[in-house]
Amino acid sequence: MKTENVGFIGLGNMGFPMAKNLEKAGFRLSVYNRNITKTEGFSTGTAVQKDLADLVETNAVIFTMLTNDTAVSEVYAKIVELPIQGKLFVDMSTISQELSISLANQLLGKGAALLDAPVAGSTKPAAEGTLIIMVGGNESDLQRARPYLEKMGKSVKHLGKNGNGIAAKLAINYFLSIIYQGLAETVLFADQLGIARHEMLEIINDSASGSGATKVKTPLLVEENYTAAFALDLMLKDIRLAQQAGANYPLLDTLLKTYQQAHDKGLGQQDVIGIIESIRS
């Protein structure tokens, strides 16, 4: 299989393990992070770039995994000023549809291409390479990126034009925000009625109401340890993005109120299921 030089920008809780999977697969990899300490832990075979422009210059397929619209805008504002003709950028961040489509058009005008390819799954699937990757963009660009995406995810779903990957991500995270609030309320109700938390969670997970989402949060709820796999503030951001994209449903206002209250109580950097602490107090 013929492969190209690959770059990865953004080595946070998700980006680091995703880039490590590319390294483990043996691709010619370069990495960049604004905070260079985040580049520690890669092998000597991976090039650590101290300058964004150097990474872009030396790689043909470049992945970005950044926090929000602001971070993505800042990085791509620099990228579009560089010689990028023929390069493929794959943005795996969760951002607004509007920004993603705008970036795709800007890059097209520079002779480059963009795929939006956000993921379903948190830090454990990122480390295991079992993410679900939702892709918007041209089929030919996806085929170029597929060898790398398949090392980061167990499923790569092409959903059509630019912006459609983001659309699917906003929809699935809207659903997850409902699941997590419902799970937190159910556990608190069971606590109130004297049912041991681990017993209630076993019932949930063994019944039709159980899911991967409830199972992955079970240890955190039992141990009452809400170290972030997916931070609550990121879910609040995604609910707002869903609202901006047109979600106007009965639960939306409740979700915004509940997650905003948790943020206001200082829980934003805890795991999203830490919302239970806000609802309880």
Task: Please report the pLDDT score of residue 197 as a whole number.
Answer: 97
If you average pLDDT over every residue of the chain, what do you get? 96
What residues are paired with 271 via a beta bridge? 231
Q: What is the CATH number of domain 6-161?
A: 3.40.50.720
The dotted CATH code for 167-280 is 1.10.1040.10
pTM (2 decimals)? 0.93
So what's the pLDDT on residue 2? Answer: 74
Stretch 181-193: mean pLDDT: 98
Q: Please state whether beta strands 113-116 and 61-64 pair in parallel, antiparallel, or not at all (unpaired).
A: unpaired
Radius of gyration of the chain (CA): 20
DSSP β-ladder status, 131-135 and 6-9: unpaired
Least confident of 120-124, 137-141, 256-260: 120-124
Asked if residue 134 lies in contact with residue 165, where contact means CB atoms within 8 angstroms, the answer is yes
Closest CA to 179 of 126, 129, 215: 215
Higher pLDDT, 122 or 143: 143
Q: Where are the domains of the chain?
A: 6-161, 167-280
pLDDT of 219 above 90: yes
Q: Of the ranges 38-47, 58-67, 175-184, 193-202, which one carries the lowest mean pLDDT score? A: 38-47
Catalytic residue positions, numbered: 169
Q: Do domains 6-161 and 167-280 have the same CATH topology?
A: no
Sheet with 29-32, edge to edge strand ranges? 47-48, 29-32, 6-9, 61-64, 88-91, 113-116
